[in-house]
Structure 1
Amino acid sequence: MHDQARAGYKSIALDIAQRIVSGELPENSKISGRSLLAGQYHVSPETIRKAMVLLKEEGIVAVSQGKEITIVSAVKAHEYISRNNYLKSVYSLKQEIQQLMAEKRGVDRKFEDLLSEIVEASDRLKNLKPYNPVELKIKPDTHVIGKTIAGLEFWQNTGATIIALRRGIHVSISPGPHVVLLENDVIVVVGDDAAHRKALQFLNMPL
């Protein structure tokens, strides 16, 4: 069954307005509630009637006493679509932002836990435990983008050791020497204060 089968009259009114704007239902053409009902929407006549009343109130269609429906204004239909899509978009964006913020908090917690485990459990890093891990973000237009960790000779140039890399929501622990750094990657390094400063300066060097 078509998606509109479960749609309310407001969704049907919006769909008809979109069909008018697209030219499928041109101005001055006539349609009937029965044809809409049988041809596409699979809802009750009362639902179609409510949709037509809404479009009539918006000045998009005219309804005669014989229940004949005439398309009146594609401009009004466009305004109706724009207004409703804007409201829908604002709500959708708010929901998406809230979801992303919740996901980010979860990723950040996971990231912190992984770093703690690395510093506590790795024999290779036991002598680095006094040094706090530092997150450094790869900025646009820097010389490191598109290059491997080995090719950059990162440790030789900075004295800092890369222990993790975060790319979006994915975290790589102890990334290998052949990993290519990309814009907006976040690397986690350990070392003394001087190494941190050198790493930051090295990463921010322009192309």
Structure 2
Amino acid sequence: MTSDMLPRYMIIALDIAKRIYEGELTEGQKISGRTTLAAEYNVSPETIRKSVKLLRDMKIVEIMPKSGIFIKSREHASSFMGTYKEKGSISEVKTDLKNLLKQKSDIENRIQKDIEYLIENTTRIKKINELNFNKIIVEPGSGIIGKALRELSFWQSTGATVAGVSRGGDIHISLGPDFVIEEGDLLLYIGGEETVEKVKGIIKKGELDS
């Protein structure tokens, strides 16, 4: 807990307790009156009244009628400061815990989104595997290695549609025109029997025989 989070009268009470603990003000010593303290701390007399009352309640000072305010106990001043520090530490722990709980919530939300993404894509891949696709491997030396789908004009050349590519155990779907074919790719395509030889031709040479 930082000092700017405390009421002004509490800050003043702690400062006076600190001065007592450090020996600036000693037991039995009379301290300035409320008006003087108000001017010293640049606050209203009412704020000083609250500060002094708190110090009296903590048995740090004693108010003698018609005589003034006297320092009563350095030990109680030390205890008061220690209590404040403990409260400050607890407040800091609570703040840290609140931040950690928020981080935990954010992480759980991200995990949930990732799980939903995996479920959605696993379902899509399963559906793809259940379809009866034609398949062909891009062998070493194939003329389409390193080419993007847009360069192949696959459908225009063969009448078949590339639905996906299996590569390294992963299935790539929703291929864009800039998807580049690599050696060892397993092309999954949709087309009738009349497209099979045309696909083989374009896979081998990178273009159809004229």
Scaled by the length of structure 1, what TM-score is found? 0.47
Larger radius of gyration: 2
TM-score (norm. length: structure 2): 0.46
